Amino acid sequence: MIEYEANLVCKKMNEAGRKRVPFLFGVDFEMTKGFFFESPMEQNSVLFSLEGHSNHSEAEQNSSVLPLLIKKPESYENYFSKFQIVHSALKKGNSFLLNLTEKTAIECNLTLEDIYLRSHALYKILVPDKFVCFSPETFVKISSSGEILSYPMKGTIDASLPDAEEQLLNDYKETCEHNTIVDLIRNDLSIVADHVQVRKFRYVDVLETNQKKLLQTSSEICGMLSGNYHEWLGSIIFDMLPAGSISGAPKRSTVNTIRKAEKINRGYYTGVFGYYDGETLDSAVMIRYIEKENGNYYFRSGGGITVNSNPEEEYQEVLDKIYLPL
């Protein structure tokens, strides 16, 4: 896969949109690099699937091989040291919400391609021998009429717990976190669109995993782009990066704290990728992400931290998000 500097990806998106030429794009969290394919259905160096758009047939997979995923998480003590950096920034008022992530070593008896082809997710992408992503989270959608929509996801709970949905909807910390991210995404959309509004607030989705069911809360936010938006698709997307749901609020100071706490680049994890068909655009936040590094597999996961967060609960949430949606 050929990578470009992020600003060149933005430029290529604008040019292709102006010509109404379909394309696939991706950009990393740090906004330093990305990839771009014109007419992506004609290439197979990167496999992708976005809600009905895919560059491959759904090959029959041997599901008789039961998936095995062994987690080798970082110690709670190491996680807590990062949490303290984040919590200190929150108490000082430098952030109201921050998404703290972990890189967890795993063992798995499936290849990245196996995981890609067998997983069930709204958004999937495979860069062979680099990473696979099976994300449930939309970044933004743009319709042929110029409506732009986002569906921030914040707040999860084990669906098997007693009264799980009621617990989730009434959880004070989760409610605060969701309110903050909805406000941030609404402000992000207002940078590029008019008539921005929250159309649906805190509805519950079910996420199926190979280990358990999870409940997750989302909201729907919409706005209208100007009539010539095709010519500025790259600029529209890049003006809203990094995605608010996986960084926090306010963005600039929060990203600085993320760098101090995490100490490693996220790369394409929590970046975005998307597909433009010549009329509409659909894009995803690259969460639920496994990368291959020196022959080893690592699962990247995280969660939103607020001043009210409990570090033990946050650590457990990071581990709960390590799963295969098969």
Going by pLDDT thresholds of 50, 70 and 90, the confidence category of residue 8 is very high
Calculated CA dihedral for residues 111, 116, 138, 290, nearest 10 degrees: 0
Calculated CA dihedral for residues 192, 195, 200, 206, nearest 10 degrees: -20
| pLDDT tens digits along 205-255 | 887 776 778 898 999 999 999 989 999 999 999 999 999 999 998 999 999
pLDDT value at residue 66: 82
Q: E strands, the chain, where?
A: 4-5, 23-27, 33-38, 47-50, 53-54, 69-72, 97-108, 123-127, 131-135, 138-142, 147-150, 153-158, 194-208, 213-224, 248-249, 272-276, 281-285, 289-293, 296-305
pLDDT value at residue 59: 62
Q: Would you report the helix, strand and coil content of the chain in percent, each value rounded to 5? A: 30, 35, 35
Residue that is written with structure tokens 């991706």 in the block: 26
pLDDT value at residue 157: 86
Q: Which residues pair with 255 in a beta bridge?
A: none
pLDDT value at residue 269: 99
Best CA proximity match to 96, nearest among 178, 217, 155, 201: 178
Domain 4-320's class?
Answer: alpha beta
Total length of the chain:
326
pLDDT value at residue 117: 94
- Residue 176 CA to its chain's centroid (Å): 20
pTM over 0.75: yes
On whether the CB atoms of residues 34 and 27 are closer than 8 A, the answer is yes
Going by pLDDT thresholds of 50, 70 and 90, the confidence category of residue 65 is confident
Q: Which residues pair with 272 in a beta bridge?
A: 27, 285
pLDDT value at residue 62: 57
pLDDT value at residue 217: 93
pLDDT greater than 80 at residue 60: no
Residue that is written with structure tokens 């607030």 in the block: 201
Best CA proximity match to 302, nearest among 29, 100, 83: 100
**Angle of helix 311-320 versus helix 76-91 axis, rounded to 10:** 120
